[in-house]
Amino acid sequence: MKIDDCDSAPLLLERLRDKELAFAEFRFCDIYGFLKSFTIPMAYLQLTDDGDSFEGKGFDGSSIAGLTGIERSDLQARPDWRSCCVPDDPGDTAIFFCTLHDLQGQAFIQGDARYQLINKLQQIKEQQGYHFLMGAELEFFLLRKLDNRWHRDSLQTQDARGYFDLTSIGFGDIVLERIVKKAQGMGIAIAQYNHEVAPSQFEIALVPTHPVQLADNIIALRHIIREVARNEENLFATFMPKPFAERDGSALHLNITILKNDESKENESERLSIIGRSFMAGLCRYGRELALASNQWINSYKRFQPDFDAPLYLKCSKDLRATSIHCGQIGDPITPRWGIQVSHPDSACNPYLSFLSLLAAGMAGENHENLVIHKDEKSLTDAIEEEKTQRLPQSFLPADLGEAIDIFRNSAFAKSVFGSELCHKLVALKTKEEWRKFEHYVTDWEINEYRSRF
């Protein structure tokens, strides 16, 4: 649960001590979006000298992917008091998400995507007067493990249901209910949960909120889902974008509402505002260059295939499945808004990197007069064929991780968004630790296809 009526770090600390909590857990992410944490006794949670925030605690940044080298390894995690929550279970620990700093207290901009997202949102509000509400629909699989091996043949779906099916209450539904209750106990607002298109695939929709809080909630929710599934015998959760070749993959659908003076710039007349059209134009213009930030795994690009519920093109429409950008009614069922949905990020992404890339791309949009919002398949197909004829690749998502890395590496816009150092780190890690290894790996498909032929 969130601590109510706390508008400052000193007041929060007073409330936490009144509750006689034993520990404070500090959370942050590496460059991939994997959750890291350490815990201190509550007695060691102290205010800074100015009383505006909490003191950071040191750790070795060189041991965490994408942070620092050995020569400057010392960093500190500084808890963001606004992110504090106290889970109902076990109830004796306050959890904080952190920004990263060096030992002199300076923000570690070149390695902390969360801080970069906070900074970008502040810049947009100060310079352009806009802020955002973002919601998300997180998809994942709950699978049975037939033995102790982590092998494809040992994985099994635990139902045969499809989208919204309620033929019977399955074991997955019981686990999903536990997940949602645990998430709500951490103060994560859930708008809806349901069975998705593929067998054993589920979706949890999060209520729109501030982009940084949404990213924190996604990181926390993924941890909860894994933890609850792990406590069940032979059950595990995966956010792998495409775990089965013949079934739909798992996306992270993002709903974006652009606000000025707390009022949406869109309305129910189905006419996008100038800023809305510009934002969509920016997503189309820079989406290909920044795809690595929202789709950072080899498996990510297996999801973008025809005949599945996945986008193929960086184009805009009202509701065409093949386009990655949509406009229409979004938000939670109680307070729907007119806004923009982006469907190409996958559920295994680093949400801080993904949100930063999408918001930066959208706010850099121009030429909104030329934006085409496709209303039918023919209009979209004609536009794609024209671009193929002119050899214009801008509307096409990268074919694989290797192409995404190359495009990101050569993008001046990516460097302006993330900084040269973070871009270099991400490209180096994805190239060396993943793409190069995959290029030399002999797959099961190759063995089955070629072994007896040659």
What does each C-alpha distance from 144 to 138, 198, 223, 427 come to in angstroms?
Answer: 20, 15, 18, 34
Alpha helices in 348-433 (DSSP H): 351-363, 377-389, 401-409, 412-418, 420-430
Nearest 5°: the CA angle 330, 227, 211 is 30
Predicted confidence at residue 152, as pLDDT, reads: 59
pLDDT in tens for each of the 454 residues of the chain? 677 668 899 999 999 988 899 999 999 999 999 999 999 999 999 999 888 899 999 888 888 887 766 556 788 999 999 999 998 876 789 999 999 998 888 888 888 999 999 999 999 999 999 999 999 999 999 988 776 655 555 567 777 666 666 665 666 788 899 999 999 999 999 999 998 888 889 999 999 999 999 999 999 999 999 999 988 877 889 999 999 988 999 999 999 999 887 666 554 445 578 888 999 999 999 999 999 999 999 999 999 998 888 999 999 998 888 999 998 776 555 555 678 999 999 999 999 999 999 999 999 987 777 788 888 888 888 888 887 777 667 788 999 999 999 999 999 999 999 999 999 999 999 999 899 999 999 988 888 889 888 7
pLDDT at 296: 96
pLDDT at 12: 93
Q: So what's the pLDDT on residue 82?
A: 93
Which pLDDT does position 268 carry in this prediction? Answer: 45
Taking the mean position of all CA atoms in its chain, how far away is CA 326? 18
Rounded to the nearest angstrom, the gap between the alpha carbon of residue 410 and the centroid of all alpha carbons in its chain is 23
Ordered by where they begin, the domains of the chain are 9-108 (3.10.20.70), 125-419 (3.30.590.10)
User: Rounded to whole angstroms, how far apart are CA atoms 257 and 264?
Assistant: 7
pLDDT at 393: 72
The per-residue pLDDT for 204 is: 96
Contact 367, 300 (CB under 8 A): no
